[in-house]
Amino acid sequence: MPLLEVEGLKAFYGQTQALYDVNFSLEPGGITTLLGANGAGKTTTLRAICGMVRAAGTIKFEGQPITGKATEDIVRLRVGHVPEGRGTFTNLSVEENLRVAAYTRKDQAAVARDLDMVFEYFPLLKQRLGQQAGTLSGGEQQMLAISRALMLSPRLMLLDEPSFGLAPMIVQEIFRIMRRINAEAKVSMLLVEQNAALALDLADHAYVLETGRVVMSGKASVVKNDEAIRKSYLGY
Amino acid sequence: MATTTTTANGVTRKQTSRFGAGFSRNVWLLLIALALLPVVVALLPLVGGPAEVISSYTFLQLSLMIVYSIAVLGLNLLTGFNGQISLGHGAFFAAGAYVAAALVAHHHWPHMVTLPVVALFCFVLGYLFGLPALRLEGHYLALATFSLAIAVPQILKYRHLEGVTGGVQGLNLPKIVAPWGLPFTPDQWMYLLVLVVAVPIFWFTRNLLDSRTGRALMAIRDQPMAAATMGINISQYKAITFGLSAMITGIAGALHAGMFRFVAPDSYPLELSITFLVGMVVGGLASLPGAIFGGIFVQVIEKYADSIARSLSSTLHLPIDIEPWTIYGIALILLVYLMPTGIAGGIARLRRLMNNTGRRSGTS
Amino acid sequence: MEQLIQQVAAGLANGAIYACLALALVMIFVSTDHINFAQGNLAMFSAYLVWQFLQWGLNFWLALPIVVVISFIIGVAIERFILRPLHDAPVLSIVVVFIGLLTIFFSLAGAIWGHTINAFPSPFPKFNFPGAAYFGPHQIGMILTTIVLLLLLFAFFRFTPLGLAMRAAAQNPASARLAGVRVDWMLALGWGLAAAIGAVAGTLVAPVVYLEPNMMASILLYGFAGALIGGISSPGGAVAGGFIVGVLENLISYFGDVVQNLTGLYIIGNGEKLSVALLIVITVLTLKPAGLFGRVSVKRV
């Protein structure tokens, strides 16, 4: 059974329609990337999956329809969302950021284990536990954002432009860790990225969006190596 | 000057000139009728007709409605048309009342002669208050004006102002009677005076709002940043609007003082400012007729609230007697939900509905 | 010197009440960006409830917790049913609703219990203790109760998951939702807590200012002044601000007396306290809206 199925998805910001007919699905286990130009609807798609924008159509997570559900409820189904701009709780400490992310979980022992896992991936965070999260650097905040999603013990993690505004070396580091998380913690990922080259290096499968519709789909390795596709859809 | 044009669908539209059309012909007719009322009532007995066809008390009520309408107009100019929330207009009402009262009581000015001084004083007061208020938006301005309203009675009791304000006991004013032996009772005369003051105020405001200035005011309310980029000097407009608003409400206060012949600090509590707010919201935000409906509403509720409340309590079999202010409060909340444009807005909507049905059935 | 210390002591005691009100105001402001103009009358209504229970023979220390719970529920209900549907409404509409609530609670209290002034017994027994020369037993009671209340709240927000969730929801509702926090209910809880704090404040101050529907109007103004001085977005600042206002107003009145004794000239005294508070409100709002400890949020165009 696919982990995530999206059929005929439309999305609206007030009166403006942003998504017209998005169709794709994700099998459990891999990393899928959504590519496209600015304004193509990539972020909107992630937001629609999480119930953050008004949407119509079918979205199914693990077979369960989730269109129209509130964000808080979707997240409790173990869908982690690393939002655009990181979404850091700037006035809380790093530790409090992590603790609040585990708010919905009952099994304290499992939470403690996941916290250790987070520190294993991002030892930097352990060093900065007491620090106010707003004072962290961009890269550190991105690590914190990914960690917050991890604290939900997610089956699926949505990542919205994790490379945004970060130095290339930091981005490489983060992407490396994302690959480890995917492989070791068995977290499937749906990655939205402007930086297509980076995303195609990491992902297994790719979808390309254009003005609210999926216009291309294929294995990442194929898309990466097909110059024609790259030139016409991704601009490089 | 208003000219009418008729479009292809048969819809008539009034074209207004650059400085506003003032009042329509119908309104002038209505005003003349209103002004003639006391004249007719006063003259009837002289030709053998019945006396006091309309009682003096009724004229007092009408005067009060007009005075409240003026006060609500002042508030509406600032809050409805310019978007600056004031919960403290009772302060300017009080200022106007006291300036008039002080001039009459201490310097024996004729009451109506004080009005220009009242206007100037209150304008400056409002302008000065508006200057720091420039930086305050929404809730913060509401907070500042709310605080002002609470502090007003105490400010008026300040020891060093006692020479002017008469302290806690306030000031008593002489009765205003018709001059030159004109056959009007004091209440009828007061009614005429109030009407004569109200007309130019409303006329001026109507023209102001229909002009470029008015549009600028409303632009500042709706999209301040866009307005600024269009070259509108927001600071000046907002401060001057504050001044004008205070001036209008202050004049209402002066008239009120003349009617009741008495000013005292405790006559101007927080409730007064809230009353004006209620009048504005119920009557209709950003609407001149709204100010009038608001004034009428305030006067009607003040007079009949007790009996309305009592009959409500008995029909609903409540164990307690509901107070008028509970009705005000519930009305406010319900209005925000159901009829945010107030009575005036409701009427406008009804008119549009009727116009639309008229058009559809082939008449215009 | 004696008198000065007495004034400061009284200022601290009053300040405790202002601190509670300021805290309640800030709690609602931080989570909803609204200023609760009805806070004072809600507190007054709660004080009347306690008084009613006392009339029915209940012990004060039983009545107070019961009323605190009732007030909490009223606060939650107001947020849930009256304010939440107005989420996107313009500021003026929301201000109007608050004023509506203000008048409803005021007149309900008047309708149920009348407008005559009632004495409200102090729950704190007279006993001898060091410093009794400066603090009356009720004043000590006000300060201690406030401190206990504040410590409890601090512990709640700092150390409990729910408190953390509420803080997160207030700061960043979108991210809080992504963590599974039910932000709407957090707002309602915030309102409930604010109403509960107000209940305590109103009950504590009633013995001092006497119970009547108008009793909280001036105190609310002092609460505003305290919240603004401390920073309308900072709970800790609000508390500090409340105490500062309490002491400040007494000091000003004291020095006014000193000046009058020395020079025979009356400049300022007890009767000008509200005007001082108004001055504080306007000065802070125009010069330093963030107050001493708060943060000004930058508006993005």
Element (H, E) at C40: helix C39-55
Cβ–Cβ below 8 Å for B151 and C278 = yes
Find the mean pLDDT for residues A24-36.
91
Local structure of B141: helix, strand or coil? helix
A204/C141 Cα distance (integer angstroms): 68
Q: Minimal Cα–Cα distance from C269 to chain A, Å?
A: 42
Q: What confidence score (pLDDT) does residue C298 get?
A: 47
Residue B122's nearest CA partner among B66, B71, B64, B192 is: B71
Query: What residues contact residue C283 under an 8 Å CB cut-off, 6+ apart?
Result: none
Local structure of B318: helix, strand or coil? coil
pLDDT digits (tens, 9 = 90+) for A128-146: 999 999 999 999 999 999 9
Q: What confidence score (pLDDT) does residue C264 get?
A: 78
pLDDT digits (tens, 9 = 90+) for A11-29: 999 889 999 999 999 989 8
Hey, is the C-beta of B167 within 8 angstroms of any chain C C-beta? no
Cβ–Cβ below 8 Å for C286 and B157 = no
CA distances to C56, C64, C191, C220 from C42, in Å: 21, 15, 11, 11
Cβ–Cβ below 8 Å for C182 and A103 = no
Cβ–Cβ below 8 Å for A101 and C171 = no
Answer for the pair A84, A127: CB distance below 8 angstroms, yes or no. Answer: no
- Nearest neighbour of C224 by CB, restricted to B143, B159, B281: B143
Given a contact as 3+ CB pairs under 8 Å, which chains touch B? C
Q: Minimal Cα–Cα distance from C181 to chain A, Å?
A: 6
Hey, is the C-beta of B149 within 8 angstroms of any chain C C-beta? no
C44/C145 Cα distance (integer angstroms): 18
Residue B308's nearest CA partner among B293, B298, B321 is: B321
Q: Minimal Cα–Cα distance from A31 to chain C, Å?
A: 21
Cβ–Cβ below 8 Å for A96 and C182 = no
Answer for the pair C140, C124: CB distance below 8 angstroms, yes or no. Answer: yes
Q: Minimal Cα–Cα distance from B218 to chain C, Å?
A: 15
Beta strands in chain A (DSSP E): 4-13, 16-26, 31-36, 54-61, 64-65, 79-82, 156-160, 188-192, 205-210, 213-219
Kindly compute the dihedral angle of the four CA atoms of residues B89, C198, C251, C213, in this order, to the nearest 10 degrees.
50
Q: Minimal Cα–Cα distance from A112 to chain C, Å?
A: 15
How many of the other CB atoms lie within 10 Å of CB of C137?
Answer: 16
Q: How far is CA A159 from the centre of its chain?
A: 2
Q: What confidence score (pLDDT) does residue B16 get?
A: 43
Optimal mutation site among C26, C52, C78, C95, interface B, most CBs of chain B within 10 A: C95
C204/C15 Cα distance (integer angstroms): 12
B280/B73 Cα distance (integer angstroms): 8
- Nearest neighbour of C171 by CB, restricted to A72, A89, A104: A89
Cβ–Cβ below 8 Å for C285 and B146 = no
Chains B and A touch, contact meaning at least 3 pairs of CB atoms under 8 angstroms apart: no
Nearest chain B residue to C91, by CA = B138
Q: What confidence score (pLDDT) does residue B8 get?
A: 52
Cβ–Cβ below 8 Å for C174 and A92 = no
- Nearest neighbour of C285 by CB, restricted to B144, B150, B323: B144
Given a contact as 3+ CB pairs under 8 Å, which chains touch A? C
Q: What confidence score (pLDDT) does residue B364 get?
A: 42
- Nearest neighbour of C180 by CB, restricted to A72, A83, A89: A72
Summary mean pLDDT of chain A: 91
Cβ–Cβ below 8 Å for C92 and B151 = no
Question: In this predicted complex, what is the ipTM?
Answer: 0.91
DSSP-assigned letters across all residues of B156-206: HT-GGGHHHH-GGG-EE-PPP--GGG-S--HHHHHHHHHHHHHHHHHHHHH
Cβ–Cβ below 8 Å for C178 and A100 = no
Cβ–Cβ below 8 Å for B148 and C278 = yes
Q: Minimal Cα–Cα distance from A72 to chain C, Å?
A: 4
Cβ–Cβ below 8 Å for A87 and C172 = yes
Q: Which letter, b or e, does each residue of C148-171 get, where b requires 16 or more Cβ atoms within 10 Å of its Cβ? A: ebbeebeeebeeeeebbbbbbbbb
Residue A140's nearest CA partner among A118, A160, A158, A125 is: A125
Cβ–Cβ below 8 Å for C164 and A104 = no
Output DSSP code: residue C300.
P
Please report which residue ranges of A28-93 form alpha helices under DSSP H.
42-49, 71-75
Write out the two tokens for A189. Answer: 């990922």
B232/B226 Cα distance (integer angstroms): 9
Answer for the pair B332, C94: CB distance below 8 angstroms, yes or no. Answer: no
Between helices B56-76 and B270-283, what is the axis angle to 10°?
80
How many of the other CB atoms lie within 10 Å of CB of A16?
Answer: 7
Cβ–Cβ below 8 Å for C165 and A96 = no
C99/B344 Cα distance (integer angstroms): 21
Q: What confidence score (pLDDT) does residue A1 get?
A: 86
Q: Minimal Cα–Cα distance from C206 to chain A, Å?
A: 37
The Cβ-side half-sphere exposure at B92, using a 13 Å CA radius, reads: 37
Residue B317 burial (C-beta neighbours within 10 Å; 0-12, 13-18, 19+): exposed
Q: Which positions of chain C have pLDDT values less than 70?
A: 127-133, 294-301
B5: β partners = B13
B70/B199 Cα distance (integer angstroms): 10
Backbone φ and ψ of C32, nearest 5°: -120, -5
Answer for the pair A236, A196: CB distance below 8 angstroms, yes or no. Answer: yes
Amino acid at B253: G
Query: What residues contact residue B246 under an 8 Å CB cut-off, 6+ apart?
Result: B74, B89, B92, B95, B122, B123, B125, B126, B127, B129
Q: What would you report as the CA-atom Rg of chain C, rounded to the nearest whole angstrom? A: 19
Answer for the pair A33, A199: CB distance below 8 angstroms, yes or no. Answer: yes
Given a contact as 3+ CB pairs under 8 Å, which chains touch C? A, B
Q: Which positions of chain B have pLDDT values less than 70?
A: 1-22, 357-364
Query: What residues contact residue B234 under an 8 Å CB cut-off, 6+ apart?
Result: B134, B220, B224, B227, B228
Write out the two tokens for A218. Answer: 């294929």
Answer for the pair C296, C290: CB distance below 8 angstroms, yes or no. Answer: yes
